[in-house]
Amino acid sequence: MISDHASPLAAAGGVDSGGQNVYVAQVARNLARLGYAVDVFTRRDDVNQPEILDWQPRVRVIHVPAGPAQYVRKEDLLPLMDDFCDYLREFCAAAGSYDLVHANFFMSGLVALRLKRELGIPFVVTFHALGRVRRLHQGDADQFPPSRMEIEDRIIAEADALIAECPQDEEDLTRLYRANRARIRVIPCGFDKAEFWPIARPFARRALGFDAKERILLNIGRLIPRKGIDNAARALGRLAREHGIAAKLVVVGGNSDVPCPVTTPEIGRLKSIAAEEGVCEQVIFTGRRSREFLKLYYSAADVFVTTPWYEPFGITPLEAMACGTPVVGADVGGIRYSIADGLTGLLVPPNDPAALAASLALLYRDADYRKELGRNAIDRVHEQFTWAKVTASIAGLYQNVLVGSAPELHVA
């Protein structure tokens, strides 16, 4: 597996640390349980990282010396991919080749494409985000080089199979990139049953130091504008003014363990918006947290709120549902796919704090409905979105590629 910037070892919510990190970690882990030997190649960004780390049984993490051993924004990594590819080529020559490469993100796909051309190793790619989709939503704020789209075109043309994480992802691949639908398999992300389960809310709140009686909304993830946390802060103000319901919004994530506007500029912007809305004291930033603590946050919350502008998939809603917490999410991308509107949570338009506030008010006024959504959410994720099931589908796709058959159209 190649994951150029997203290490499976990264802490949740940190800079450039999100769903891709979780995806790579969980797929690698579960492939090993199926009998695969897995090497995950990710760029070395710390001088203290060993070159080869025996991370899990049958899973190694290989820290690739490409560029400085320090953080580099993913938007600036493309020039380092030549060194990344040279290292992998030499690694293969010394250690033996691989049956298959699973690339994650377009720069990893570029490396996989070169390995296929030079060494004949087939590859599968999960993009996690597409350049043309990003450009549509972010415009000039998108700081990836324009060559990204041309690189994605080449990867899509030559990949042995493409993994779309939701039906919207499949539609984007076929409509914006003219991908061959016969080579696309829709396989979602998942959650780990051994990592996320419901914890009694009073216990979770005591463990985190939250008041047992206060209303708590939660967001977990990277703190960047497109995640739409400003929409949640504005909805919090409307919830109080228009619906007479006071609540707190707990925001878990950032580039440091202690919330800091210097290391995480989005915190400063969000605090200003909260002040405008008169809810500055009700928006609580925790900083980033290790994954073992996240189930406490999910279980302590009344509602998980996630309203990004767009979202290729979004793993955090699955984790919240696994903890029995209903989700109010933006009606976009993978969130539209994972949340059953009215059954496990509610969908609202993105960038619409009035609609978000109205949905939150509905849930706070009807505790029985909120609990019903939480129970249904647990059932849904266990039926459709465990990492074991997801990885079994991915392994099936690998086998199709290795025997030379095109993947059948299938939704996992």
How many other C-beta atoms can be found within 10 angstroms of the C-beta atom of residue 264? 24
Residue 291's Cβ-side half-sphere holds a number of Cα atoms within 13 Å equal to 21
Q: Rounded to whole angstroms, how far apart are CA atoms 112 and 125?
A: 9
What pLDDT band is residue 11 in, cutting at 50, 70 and 90? Answer: low
Which tens digit of pLDDT belongs to each residue from 254-282? 989 999 999 999 999 999 999 999 999 99
Helix (H, G, I), strand (E, B) or coil at 31: helix
8 Å CB contact between 170 and 333: no
CA 59 to chain centre: 21
CA 264 to chain centre: 19
Q: Which domains does the chain have, with CATH numbers?
A: 2-190+387-402 (3.40.50.2000), 201-384 (3.40.50.2000)
Q: What is the pLDDT of residue 312?
A: 84
Q: What is the DSSP letter of 347?
A: E
Number of residues that make up the chain: 412
What pLDDT band is residue 23 in, cutting at 50, 70 and 90? Answer: very high
What pLDDT band is residue 337 in, cutting at 50, 70 and 90? Answer: very high
8 Å CB contact between 4 and 43: yes
Q: Which contacts qualify for 44-52: CB closer than 8 Å, 24 or more apart?
A: 44/69, 45/7, 45/69, 45/70, 45/71, 45/72, 46/70
Q: What is the pLDDT of residue 140?
A: 75
C-alpha distances out from residue 82 to 77, 78, 109, 128, 236, Å: 10, 8, 12, 22, 47
Tokens of 381: 């994720």
Which tens digit of pLDDT belongs to each residue from 200-217? 999 999 999 999 999 999
Residues 6+ apart with CB under 8 A from 147: 78
Helix (H, G, I), strand (E, B) or coil at 242: helix
Question: Does the pLDDT value for residue 411 go beyond 60?
Answer: no
